[in-house]
Structure 1
Amino acid sequence: MDMTHMDHMQMEQQTGTSYLWLILGAALLLLSAAAYVWASRTRGSILSHMKKKERALIQKKSRAIHTAAHIVIALSITAFGIFSLQRADKTYNTADLDSSAAINVTSDKYYGANHTEEPIHYEMTIPTSGPHNPHDIQFGFYTDFPGYPYLVHNMEHGDIIIYYRENAGEELKEHLKYLTKFRKAGSGILAVPNKDIPDGSEVVMTAWTKTMKLDKFDDAKVGTFINRYINQGPEKIPPSVRQGGGTM
C-alpha cells in the first residue's frame, strides 16, 4: 500500500493547502471589515470646531484607511477565488489508481434485477445481483451496514462495494475513506462494514455479478478491480443525474 498511500498523503496535503486559502480569505475579509469601520470612525472624529488643517489630516487618514480596506478585500476575493479553483480542479479519477495487478475474481450467477420493497432472501451470502430496493444510496464510507437491497441496487449502476471488517484498523479505514472519493462517469465506490466477510479474508470487493476476496488488503489488486468493473453495471446513469449516488 506504500505508493498509493504516498499519493493519498499528497492529495490530502493538497486539500489542506486549498483550505489554507479559504482561511486566509476569511481572515482578510474580517480585516477589511475592521478597516472600513476604522475609516468610518476616523472620519466621524472630525469636530466642527477643528481647524481646517486638522480636518484635512483626519480626512487624509480616513481615505488612506479606506484605500487599505479596498486592497485587503481585493486580496480576500483573490484568496477565495484560488480556493474555488483548487476545489474545482480537484478530481479523483479511477485511472490514477494502481491497476497493474493480477487478480482472482469470481463471476457470480445472475439472480435478476427487479425492484421490490418486500423482504428479500438472497441466494448468495454477499449478493452481487438479484432483486433489490428501488433506491440506491450515496457513495462514501459507512460505519453501519445499510443492507444488501440498497447495495445491490448500487452495483446495478456500476458502483464498487468494498466490504471491510468492523474491527478493521484505523489506517485501513482512513485509506478506504480516500478510495470512496474516486469516480468514473456516473459510478462510485462505497466502503461498508460487513459481518458476512468469510474467515481468512480481510476485505471483500464486489461489483455487479463479480466478487474478489482478499486475505490481505492490496492497493494494486483493489485498484485493478475498481478500474476493471466500475461503471460496468447493466444500468448506467449519467453523472449529472446521479451526483454521488442516492438518486435512483
Structure 2
Amino acid sequence: MTTPPPGKKLTVKQQRAAERERKLEEYKKREARMKRNRRIAIWGSVAAGVAIIALIVTTIVLTPQRPSYTAGGEGAEIEGVETFENASDHVEGVVDYDQTPPAGGPHNPAWLNCGIYEEPVPAENAVHSLEHGAIWVTYDADALSDDELETLRSQLPGTYVILSPFDGLPSPIVLSGWNTQLQVEEADDPRIAEYLEEYWQSQSVPEPGALCTGAIDGPGKVS
C-alpha cells in the first residue's frame, strides 16, 4: 500500500491506488480464508465418509451371516434320518406324542412363531409350525457349551426355524421337520446342514408355505 512521506498528503490518484491496493489485500485474505475453509470441509467430508465405510465394513464382518438353504428338497438320503407317519389334527390341551421331541401329529390351532428361544416351548404349538414347513431344532442345555450352542445357531436359516432347549432328549441335538427327524451328538456335525437343505420349507408338509409368524410367542424368545 502507498504511504505518503511525513507531512505530505496523497494525491487523488495515489488515494485511489491505495484504496485499490487495500481492497485487493482484503480480497486475497478473504480468498485465503475461503480456500482454507473449503479444505477443512473437504477433509472433514472425506474423514466422515471413511468412518461410515469403516462402520459398514465392520458391521458386515462382525455380523454373523445366515447360511442360505434352498426351500424344499430333492430326495437326498441323509444318514440317521428317521421318518414317521403322524396325522395332522387340530386339538386343544396337552398331547402325548409318539416321538421325543415331536415330529408331527395332533397340535394346537395356533402355531409357534419361529425364532430363537432360551426356554422350552409348548410342543403343541411348535408342531403346528412344523406343519408349515419349519424345522424345530432342540438341544440339551446341559450337554452343550455356549460355544457349541453358538456353532449350532450359526448354521440355522433366518426364517422358518425354531431353536429351543428340550428336556429328555435322546441325544444332545435333535432336528425335527414334519414326519422327519435327525439326532446328532455334535454341533458341528455336517448332517445338520444337509438335513436343513433337504427338509427346510419342505413341500411335503400338510401346509407348505403357511406363515411361521403372526401367531404366538413361547417363553424365552430372544429373536
Shift of 1:153: 1.7
Query: Which of 187, 192, 196 is matched with 1:226 structurally?
Result: 196
Tell me the equivalent position of 1:122.
96
Aligned residues: 178
Shift of 1:73: 4.4
Tell me the equivalent position of 1:205.
175
Matched, 1:193 2:160: no
What is the letter of the counterpart of residue 110 of structure 2? P
Shift of 1:164: 0.8
Identity of aligned residues (%): 17
RMSD of Structure 2 on Structure 1 (CA):
3.3
Q: Secondary structure at the match of 1:206?
A: strand
What is the letter of the counterpart of residue 202 of structure 1? P
Looking at structure 1, the residues matched to 188 and 47 of structure 2 have their Cα atoms a distance apart, in angstroms, of: 49
Matched, 1:176 2:148: no
Tell me the equivalent position of 1:8.
none
Shift of 1:152: 0.7
Q: Which runs of 4+ in 1 moved over 6 A?
A: 80-87
Matched, 1:150 2:125: yes
Higher radius of gyration, 1 or 2: 2
Distance 1:121 1:79, change over 3 A: same
Shift of 1:121: 1.8
Shift of 1:83: 7.6
Shift of 1:194: 0.6
Q: Which has the higher contact order (CA 8 A, sep 6+)?
A: 2
Shift of 1:157: 1.4
- Does the aligned pair in 1 maintain the 2:152–2:188 contact within 8 Å? no
- Identify, as 1 or 2, the structure richer in helix: 1
TM-score scaled by structure 2? 0.64
Looking at structure 1, the residues matched to 132 and 54 of structure 2 have their Cα atoms a distance apart, in angstroms, of: 39
Tell me the equivalent position of 1:113.
89
Tell me the equivalent position of 2:218.
none
